[in-house]
Amino acid sequence: MNPLGKKLSIILSLVVACCLPFLTNNYWLDVATLALFYIVLAQGLNVVVGFAGLLDLGYAAFFAVGAYTTGILMTVYQWSFWLTLPVSMAIAAVVGVIIGAPTLRLRSDYLAIVTLGFGEIIRILAINLDITGSASGIYGIPRPSIGSYMLAGQMDFYYLILIIAILAVLAVKRLGSSRIGRAWMYIREDEDAAEAMGINRIKMKLLAYSIGAVIGSLGGSVFAVKMSAIAPLSFSFTQSIMILLAVVLGGLGSIPGVVLGAVLVIALPELLRSVEDWRYLIFGVALVAMMLFRPQGLWPARYDTGKDSAHEADTLRTEGSDRDVQLDSEKCNA
């Protein structure tokens, strides 16, 4: 696509996103809001999995950290929503480092298993701790307000998360083309060679986890005030997988791809509602087909173009697709 076409399509999709509340009913507005949440989360995970190549199966943990931090600070300590944001981001960054540090030496499958474990730890902590309201979660989270205007309606939250999503996309885009972004890419492509070229592997990996965590927690904080109640159920393993699915479906490391992937992961099951019980089966089959015929994702990053790219890139892709096939079968069983 030429630069002009690119600009036009970005402006067009922004205009559509801004006008959407006036064009549709509450039901679809809710679906769109959820899709925007997924865009934020998937972009955060894109930093970890897409840029740095660290497979994370417990990403919902950061989503939970954001949501619970905001929930607890607002209900127990009566903080303003906006003040909770920096706190939950800071906590998420620290949690990111805590999860990242012991996994630094691990690669591929082993890394995936450890991150999965951490995701479960956070969820089970939330179920068992008193401060997180145990299994019933936290409810009665107050609505945020800007000055005297209280954000309460569906449309308010739609615009709030739209702004966060735009910020997340911009931030990830800038990061991707920065020196840090290049360092992540080098680590993803060949960790040893990157290290031999003078990249501080440990620092860069921890940074990827932290930044991914911060973006995820931001989504979580907004989620908490939007739903006004949160429970451990929202941060299950399936949630992590759905976010990962959005990233892989769209195209690892590709920013427009991940946006598209997030929208599809939310919108497709809704569109298929007419076929009732069959919808997840059809969704699953569509995903399997997609991974067979277009394993690099719907809108792949520039580097994963066709067969001429490297062996490493191929392995990464096949690994990704294998996982999705597995996860489809899980979904079908569910």
Binding site for other proteins (CB under 8 A): 179, 182-183, 185-186, 189-190, 192-202, 303-304, 308-313
> What secondary structure letter does DSSP report for 143?
P
> C-beta of 301: minimal distance to other proteins in Å?
9
Complex with other proteins: residue 10 or 310, whichever CB lies closer: 310
Q: Which residues contact 236 (CB under 8 A, 6 or more apart)?
A: 60, 123
Q: Which residues contact 281 (CB under 8 A, 6 or more apart)?
A: 332
> C-beta of 5: minimal distance to other proteins in Å?
20
Complex with other proteins: residue 181 or 219, whichever CB lies closer: 181
Start-end of H helices in the chain: 3-23, 26-45, 60-75, 81-100, 108-128, 154-176, 179-189, 191-196, 201-227, 237-250, 255-271, 279-293, 311-333
> C-beta of 104: minimal distance to other proteins in Å?
12
> C-beta of 200: minimal distance to other proteins in Å?
5
Complex with other proteins: residue 154 or 309, whichever CB lies closer: 309
Residue (of 332, 266, 292, 334) closest to 42 by Cα position: 266
Q: Which residue's entry shows tokens 């615009």?
A: 159
Provide the residue count of the chain. 334
Complex with other proteins: residue 273 or 302, whichever CB lies closer: 302
> C-beta of 95: minimal distance to other proteins in Å?
25
Complex with other proteins: residue 67 or 204, whichever CB lies closer: 204
